[in-house]
Structure 1
């Protein structure tokens, strides 16, 4: 009972912190970047896993997984993205530039996700110089390679399970089919959890233990699978293509990334609250510092700016007061002259 109360308390704290950090805008931003990063990301992943299993087999597996998530139309659109973005030029210079842009595009979404994770952990980079930007891109590329590695592991395990199930299917076909589905589900659970744990561990500029990240990663995976089922049910009961027409595939991809980011951010917030509850020693790495220092600098700069603005306003107000006094004096002088003229006319009469 105590564990349940503690877990519920952490959930509530994570929700309030999640809502305060405005996940809606950040998720929309990352979804926008992901739309452009997706072709490059998938090409690298397909190339890594395809080296061992063949690119067509890997591409088919990815297409099937995406089809399960957001429907066959969107999966077909992504498959066309991969085909159109493939590096097929015979020119060495074109291949070099193409590969550079491929890396830049594939790391863009993780680059933005890293900034969001830093915001959740309340840390900020000390210096955004070229060296640090390159390091951030390398870390983001590492996440891309992790995705490829996890996909490769998934394919290896699935192949082994299929071979085992085929060998014993004759004895208990129904049991074998059921066990295969259960094992595939558990494998997907482990792989997705490992991916989320890697995101929580490596992307933010904080020193964090794997043990701390895995509980938040498990919660994120459960929420992700629940959301996957709900959105699959929604797609099954409705026809998004009738609403968005030809843009339905793009909209569904954005929606898929959007709700995934919302869930990832909540899992990261839960990880923060869990670390606080366990009194874990979490500190920025050598490239970052607590965000409060940067906020204090900004507040000091804002204070100086407000002082300058007040001085300008006071100067303008002083000029206005002088002008009003001068206008008042001129009007009084005009009235006095008019009165003198009136008195002179009356004396003449």
Structure 2
């Protein structure tokens, strides 16, 4: 790809991103995430605890959130998970609780789908009950995909832990460096696959897997860079300190908000890059073609 073309793609991406009003869209996603998070995590833990113990899964999730948003918000999320449960007193209550849980967990993906449809220029038809059910099922599929990726992450983390013990015996001076590099690589792959799956399956417009993964790779790099910047910002500025007891919730909202800005930037890049590939494949019309 030529430098001129790359610059044009980046300019178009930024222009479309601004036209989307990403600040408002990210605020909406942050709001939905706050209410979807307990249900989403409960389902993910329920699925993954089939293969691993609940405490191990919950501890892994808390550790991941702690590295993202800090210890206090991570403990608040852990509290959400612990207090959330399905009412199993009767079959009816269990069905109602399960349905409410699924509806809550898919809320953020359902809203995310609407925004991605706008980005990918999907013409919205009149909503029908059947369409709504299908969209919710797709959203639930994304929840299950998160559970699957978490299982993979846990398996790989266990493998890295064993590898770390082996390396420490022979190369103790570089063991931590190697493990840090492997953990970063695992995060890179898992997040890229997740973003790629969202770009590929969530909008009503299908794009090629290759295009989705390229867009997801850019988004992941921005996400990991943004995570570092946001972490420094939270540590230095302490933006939620003025909210007292609600600071943990505010930090979660702020983190999702800033992450949403990055995610939508990546989605716009994916759309612009997809259009570039389509236009590149179109044969140019020659004078002979016009005359014919």
Structure 1 equivalent of residue 134 of structure 2: 135
Structure 2: distance between partners of 1:168 and 1:50: 29
Partner of 2:30: helix, strand, or coil?
helix
Equivalent in the alignment of 1:252: 251
| Map of 1:210 onto structure 2 | 209
- What is the CA deviation profile of residues 183-223 of structure 1, one whole-angstrom value per residue up to 9, with x for unaligned ones? 11001001001111011000111121101111111111111
2:28 alignment counterpart: 29
Deviation at 1:95, TM superposition (A): 1.5
- Scaled by the length of structure 2, what TM-score is found? 0.92
Residue equivalent to 1:40: 39
Deviation of the 1:86 alpha carbon: 1.8
Deviation string, structure 1 residues 156-209 (Cα, Å, up to 9, x no partner): 011112112212321111222211110110010010011110110001111211
SS at the partner of 1:169? helix
| Equivalent residue, structure 2, for 1:156 | 155
Structure 1 residue 88, shift from structure 2 partner:
5.2
Q: CA deviation at 1:264?
A: 1.1
Q: Which has the larger radius of gyration?
A: 1
The 3-state SS of whatever aligns with 2:18 is helix
Residue ranges of structure 2 left out of the alignment (5+ in a row): 281-292
Deviations 1:109-156 (A, max 9, x none): 000000000001111332311110000000000000111111110110
Unaligned runs of 5+ in 1: 282-349
Distance of aligned partners of 1:142 and 1:206 in 2 relative to their CA distance in 1, 3 Å threshold: same
Task: State the partner residue of 1:185.
Answer: 184
Q: CA deviation at 1:51?
A: 1.4
C-alpha distance in 1, partners of 2:148/2:3? 35
Structure 2 partner of 1:55:
54
SS in 2 for 1:125: coil
Q: What SS does the aligned partner of 1:173 have?
A: coil
Q: Does 1:230 align with 2:190?
A: no
Q: What's the counterpart of residue 176 of structure 1?
A: 175
Once the two structures are superposed, residues 45-74 of structure 1 have per-residue CA deviations (whole angstroms, 9 ceiling, x without a partner) of 111112111111111111111111111111
In the alignment, structure 1 residue 243 sits paired with structure 2 residue 234: no
Deviations 1:268-302 (A, max 9, x none): 11011111111169xxxxxxxxxxxxxxxxxxxxx
Q: Alpha-carbon deviation of 1:99?
A: 0.6
Q: Does 1:101 align with 2:88?
A: no
Cross-structure match for 1:120: 119
CA distance in 2, matches of 1:99, 1:9: 48
Secondary structure of 2:203's match? coil
**Which residue of 1 is the match for residue 18 of structure 2?**
19
